[in-house]
Structure 1
Amino acid sequence: MNPEQEKLLYAKINLETAQIPWKELERFFAGGRIISVDDSVDMIRVAQLMAADDVKAVSDMLEKKEIGKVTDSQARIWSASDALLWAVVVKPWILVQQRKS
């Protein structure tokens, strides 16, 4: 992918990103389709790498625990607090991020 294509994909993903209540995502969590992105990481960049099927970069992020499947305990916390998360779909996954600031 050339730099211009990368910029266009980033912009497209950015437009598809929105805030959503955790309660609306719970059924996808039950299906194992939710990936949590640490708030120190650019979620749009993660989505871009996943969309481009960059296995090495995604594997590196998994290893560094920058991304990972949402745990049961995290899901309970988000459910109890009625959390509002940033989310974007990269089929078959939904990336979510709880921003602290």
Structure 2
Amino acid sequence: MHQDPATLRAHLQGEMGAITWPELQPHFARGALLAVTDPLDLLEAAMALVQDDKATVEAWLKAGTLQQPDIDHARGWEHRQPRFQAVVIAPWVLVKESTP
């Protein structure tokens, strides 16, 4: 399914929502969580995954701006209880911490 970028962007924006760490824990437990960090934008990361832009996604993974959270991330989130913005790009749930 290839949509034009503007339509895809609008669709993904409509799918984004706020979520808490307790709601994300099951996704973390099954290894389906991807964390987006600054300066990467959550929507930009979601679009690259949907469009199967392997080179870009691999570059972000290598740079650490897109990462599969580990137990240290989980412990930090458990302690701090931040809020996140999230979007589902099956099988992944992409999250980015919301700024206070």
Per the normalisation by structure 2, the TM-score is 0.92
Contact 1:47/1:88 (8 A) holds in 2 = yes
Q: Are residue 88 (structure 1) and residue 50 (structure 2) matched? A: no
CA apart distance, 1:73: 1.0
CA distance in 2, matches of 1:90, 1:52: 11
Aligned residue in 2 for 1:49: 48
CA apart distance, 1:68: 0.5
- SS of aligned partner of 2:13: helix
Following superposition of structure 1 onto structure 2, how do residues 54-69 of structure 1 map, counting pairs within 5 Å? 54-69=53-68
Aligned length: 100
Contact 1:39/1:99 (8 A) holds in 2 = no
Cα deviations across residues 12-46 of structure 1 (Å, max 9, x unaligned)? Answer: 10111111011011011000000000032111011
Contact 2:8/2:47 (8 A) holds in 1 = yes
Contact 2:17/2:87 (8 A) holds in 1 = yes
Aligned residue in 2 for 1:39: 38
CA apart distance, 1:81: 1.9
Cα deviations across residues 41-89 of structure 1 (Å, max 9, x unaligned)? Answer: 1110110110011111101111111101012111111112222111100
Contact 2:83/2:98 (8 A) holds in 1 = no
Aligned residue in 1 for 2:12: 13
Percent of aligned positions that are identical: 28
Any unmatched runs of 5+ in structure 1? none
CA distance in 1, matches of 2:4, 2:38: 25
RMSD (CA atoms): 1.8
Contact 1:37/1:96 (8 A) holds in 2 = yes
Contact 2:82/2:98 (8 A) holds in 1 = no
Runs of 4+ in 1 over 3 A off after TM superposition: none
